[in-house]
Structure 1
Amino acid sequence: MAAASILAPALDSTIVIEKRSSTADRIAADPRSNSIRVVAPYEYKEAAKCLAEAFKDDHVVRYAIDTPDRAHWSEEEKYALHLQAMEYVTYAHCLKGLVTTVGPDYDCVALWMPPGKNIDDLLTILRSGMWRLNWQLSKEGRTRFFKEFLPLLASTKTEVLGERDNHAWYLNYIGTKAGSRGNGYARRLIEHVGDVADRAGQACYLESSHDINIKIYGKMGFTLRKQIWLGLDETIRMDVMVREPKGVLKEKI
């Protein structure tokens, strides 16, 4: 669904349980959450497995991996890097953002970046190991990821949100395991944070990579704001959508 930047955990031995932010605590304590919970850093690999499975054939997510100069790689090798990339971004969000899950076995996972937060600071890059991508990706992959993909996402978000860029929730990834689809898990995770955004009068932002998601997200209050393309022939499309806060006008009266 949503495309995201990719970060990497350094050494497993350095991973510790981080203290939750006040926002994460508030969401985790919400009595309406049922089985929705916040994923701790030590759980990042299990959460990442869910996302890796959900996005295993996604052209946007694998844009920097499925490159011509890696045509000789087997699908197993490419999937291994894809899984590592998901571990990277999941761990980074555990450190600086908000990772939520629902279901008995990490059946659906969402990676959120709260307002004013990002995973691009030097400390997070060092701790998460983003430097690994400089040698894990091929030459073409590095160009696609660092010079095309990330700059396009950043500039588009700023363009679409304007002065609200640092005051909106960013749904970086959300994915459901194939065998767990149809249970409404994704809707629950989105509406869970959506309620928090509504109470604060904040928007939610995402990029989607599948046509059907325009309709699906539309039922959750998102509207299409812009379409962007990747590749020299611009064949890979992303749909940029925004969910405006509900009940803001009523609360201001």
Structure 2
Amino acid sequence: MADGAATSSSVRVLQLHEWKEATDSLAEAFAVDHTCTYFLNTPDTEHWTEEKKWKLHVDMMSYIVYAHLLKGLVVSAGPNYDCVALWMPPGENMDDYLTIFRSGMWRLNFQLSTEGNKRFFSEFLPLLNDTKRQVLGERDDDSWYLVYIGTRPSGRGKGYAKQCIEYGTSIADAEGRACYLESSDAVNRIIYRKRGFELKKNVYLQRAEAHVELDIMVREPVQRNGAGSSSP
């Protein structure tokens, strides 16, 4: 879609210069998300101020957003970047050295605490990569990956997330590809099921006292013009 102001009834593909607006939206949306606080609230960050933790939270989001603007598809709905979704297309990832360098992701090695570093690099990322490969099998590099989607509190309940999800799933349907996601909030399971995603398994982050559960969900492509097929 053409670059321009977002409206409440359209989804817009974001450009690289919009990384800060997208970052601010997702940082606000995921302010209390379990998978985000999991890396920040560790035994060795008890002396950190809330301001320091928040800055690192925003930094992490900025690296992830920038990497997806470089290699993936970043879309937004709502007049104030109310909902932002990060999609990774088939055959793409943000693990190459150039993307890690340009996005700033390499800085996390020095910004996270010792325990936070272990949780992110030694537990979280390997678990997600291994699980996606296990669940999708031969389709691992041939599917659309909804890596992040979040709506800031002021934009919730207005259908923005639905628009951002359906923007990606419509592309996947046209290409005959599956969509994959992880969700850390069981409430969202209902939302994703309405969009055609089915729960495949649960995995857990286990280094904290309270384990963090993640839903692993897959959506099969819908053939819009095929015999006997229907939209979810």
2:129 corresponds to 1:158: no
- Distance in 1 of aligned mates of 2:10 and 2:225: 31
Report the TM-score, using the length of structure 2 for normalisation. Answer: 0.91
The correspondence of residues 50-199 of structure 1 with structure 2, limited to 5 A, is: 50-199=25-174
Report the TM-score, using the length of structure 1 for normalisation. Answer: 0.84
**Residue of 225, 229, 241 corresponding to 2:200:** 225
- C-alpha distance after superposition, 1:73-113 (max 9, x if no partner): 12221111101111110011000101000111101000000
**Residue of 205, 209, 213 corresponding to 1:237:** 213
- Distance in 2 of aligned mates of 1:130 and 1:237: 24
Q: CA distance change for structure 1 residues 34 and 181 in 2, over 3 Å: closer, same or farther?
A: closer
1:23 corresponds to: none
The number of equivalent residue pairs is 223
- Contact conserved, 1:201 with 1:248, CA < 8 A, in 2? no
- C-alpha distance after superposition, 1:40-83 (max 9, x if no partner): 11110111111001110011123222111001112221111101
The residue identity in structure 1 corresponding to 2:196 is G
Question: Structure 1, unaligned stretches of length 5 or more?
Answer: 1-27
Give the secondary structure class of the aligned counterpart of 1:63.
Answer: helix
- Distance in 1 of aligned mates of 2:81 and 2:225: 36
Q: CA distance change for structure 1 residues 252 and 114 in 2, over 3 Å: closer, same or farther?
A: farther
Give the secondary structure class of the aligned counterpart of 1:146.
Answer: helix
Give the secondary structure class of the aligned counterpart of 2:40.
Answer: coil
> Looking at both structures, which has the greater relative contact order when contacts are Cα pairs under 8 Å and sequence separation is at least 6?
1
**Residue of 18, 31, 35 corresponding to 2:10:** 35
The residue identity in structure 2 corresponding to 1:164 is R
- C-alpha distance after superposition, 1:183-236 (max 9, x if no partner): 110011111111110011101100000111111111110000010000235621
- Contact conserved, 2:9 with 2:78, CA < 8 A, in 1? no
- Contact conserved, 1:60 with 1:209, CA < 8 A, in 2? yes
1:49 corresponds to: 24
- Contact conserved, 2:10 with 2:163, CA < 8 A, in 1? no
- Distance in 2 of aligned mates of 1:197 and 1:131: 31
1:18 corresponds to: none
**Residue of 181, 186, 190 corresponding to 1:206:** 181
Shift of 1:34: 5.0
- Distance in 2 of aligned mates of 1:78 and 1:244: 38
Give the secondary structure class of the aligned counterpart of 1:62.
Answer: helix
